[in-house]
Structure 1
């Protein structure tokens, strides 16, 4: 097994964050099932780029062999936070990249923000090169879920995490949050945008696309929701609501949320330690204000069924879901309700709901094919790498036919070992 090692330095609003070591292992990919309702074709062999992030000191450097490469990933942009007043309160938006480029907006799942929901995807070098080369990224946080506190707070109250929302403020509806996104786009003067959301965030962005069709170029949805909560989900959410109300962000609540996000393979067991990404997410959950999470949970638990409106959605849609996700069946159902000419489903083997963190490498190739229909590609220095299965010479000409959403895919299964 070969390794790609590099060091990424991220900058916050006011100070440098310590370097984060990125180790990427290259091996044969886990099973990925790609579904569409059009024609079938073979997908080139894909490689697993599994990213692990460890703060603090870098491990001892090894000599670079022919199968190993060392590089330093450049800091592409200093993130800027904007606190934007809207009709239902202020919303935090973190902007990365050149604002002259097309916009890609993200929206996270319950109790998460862009650092805990999309960091795995954007810290994978090839995925980052694809997205940051083509887009300016606008990470929208649900109210009270921002990474940094409101800038107007006195310095002594600054901490990594949002301030509590007043309990007397009305709880916004899902329509309010969709309208809030429209106000954010107006603030930045954006037209049509690409959207990426995870679970609850995917629902909000889908609703936004239904209400403001002219403002959405395409949807990338991860473990999305489209129906009203089932009795099981409703009861589960009520249990979490009571835990939040009476005990705050307690250990039991964190376990409930981690079960929502991740597969049992990475959550560990009494005999097996939790993976790095689960431990990191557990620590980030400690920074959440329980009242803010409770408000968003109540909003999502009151969501209406939007299935009937999906047929009228004409933007291209790419759906990812882990086969261990508690929302797997809902993603399948949502795909069946979308116009078959504009949608495709990617099922990721041995993965939970948050594919962006658990197996971000599985998103790379489907996203690249998806973006080809918009004339967007990865920069040449990555595409021409001999390790890349997406070099132009490796892409079958049939795959470039503008059929369906620009893809010619039907169900295939590639069951291979995770180790070479």
Structure 2
């Protein structure tokens, strides 16, 4: 089966946010040249939430959409069917929440997580919007757009905004989207706590794998991700957590600044013990192309990184155009598996 990893390499497993699917959420990132070079060494599995793929038929009347917990519980059977032993997860928004829940329930299956715009708490953005808008489905596109983009982005980046507004309104079944949004809005607090050595490190509920938290500095999710006193970063193991706050970036960093995210992902997998020798220019320095070797596992130190340099614009096609992935094996064949739960 194409996409099945060789040896003990994990598979890159992606999960999209509400209003998107794997194409609109991840195409730009995985089609970016630097990311394509990285993923030559990994198979990739993209997961679409039920009914969110393009052209999906509506669910029958009375259909009970899975909860966030149930969506996470579907993933082990998917990996078993694909004969995948472990993954590095990349999730955005609702997808980040689902992958976090999956990692908490199945820590042996998850080697690392890249969580973009993750909010582990129960309160949702729809609570505020629903109290001010009537006609759930008719206003759903505006609600989802406000979830993805800041007020500044909605005003200043008209081309991107128009692309995603049309995609959300025309390509995603609106009834199915409303069900997915309702499930995300009804999510439970994950109850993650920071382990304290000598006190609760063996009993506390927390992520045991290295985690990279990513958020744009103008993202609607920035407060939930960055706030050290209340939200996600304060709850995770500081020895295994890195926070990447991207400057001049809004709610979709994987779309707006794929170069920065690809660079961060490269260092993340290196910290996990996978050395990537690929051609990436860093401050006018070039790392020669070669292969990837497995290193001994090393702990990732906690850090907070603010990205300030501009990303390059190579392979910057429309986020909704182009192939589904840039993953190639040695013969140049696609190594991407798409799964709709």
Structure 2 length-normalised TM: 0.75
Task: Tell me which residue corresponds to 2:234.
Answer: 336
Maintained 8 Å contact 2:92/2:116:
yes
Task: Tell me which residue corresponds to 1:163.
Answer: 57
- Measured after TM superposition, the shift of residue 306 of structure 1 is 1.0
Higher relative contact order (CA 8 A, sep 6+): 2
**1:11-410 alignment, distance < 5 Å:** 97=3, 99-100=5-6, 102-130=10-38, 132-147=39-54, 161-230=55-124, 233-237=126-130, 242-244=135-137, 247=138, 252-268=139-155, 274-275=158-159, 277-285=160-168, 286-308=170-192, 311=195, 312-332=206-226, 333-378=231-276, 380=278, 382-383=279-280, 389=285, 391=287, 404-405=299-300, 409-410=303-304
Give the 3-state SS of the residue equivalent to 1:372 in structure 2: helix
The structure-2 alpha-carbon separation of the partners of 1:115 and 1:364, relative to structure 1 and needing over 3 Å to count, comes to same
What RMSD over aligned residues (CA atoms) do the two structures have, in Å? 3.2
Maintained 8 Å contact 1:325/1:351:
yes
- Measured after TM superposition, the shift of residue 233 of structure 1 is 4.2
- Measured after TM superposition, the shift of residue 313 of structure 1 is 1.5
- Measured after TM superposition, the shift of residue 255 of structure 1 is 3.2
Distance 1:163 1:122 in 2: 27
Structure 2 gap ranges (5+): 196-205, 289-294, 313-341
Task: Tell me which residue corresponds to 2:326.
Answer: none
Maintained 8 Å contact 1:365/1:390:
no
Q: Deviations over 1:42-79 (max 9, x none)?
A: xxxxxxxxxxxxxxxxxxxxxxxxxxxxxxxxxxxxxx
The structure-2 alpha-carbon separation of the partners of 1:117 and 1:302, relative to structure 1 and needing over 3 Å to count, comes to same
- Measured after TM superposition, the shift of residue 408 of structure 1 is 7.3
Structure 1 length-normalised TM: 0.62
The structure having more radius of gyration, on CA atoms, is: 1
- Measured after TM superposition, the shift of residue 315 of structure 1 is 0.4
The structure-2 alpha-carbon separation of the partners of 1:411 and 1:282, relative to structure 1 and needing over 3 Å to count, comes to closer
Q: Deviations over 1:172-202 (max 9, x none)?
A: 1111101111221111121111111001110
The structure-2 alpha-carbon separation of the partners of 1:413 and 1:368, relative to structure 1 and needing over 3 Å to count, comes to closer
Structure 1 gap ranges (5+): 1-94, 148-160, 393-399
The structure-2 alpha-carbon separation of the partners of 1:386 and 1:342, relative to structure 1 and needing over 3 Å to count, comes to closer
- Measured after TM superposition, the shift of residue 259 of structure 1 is 2.5
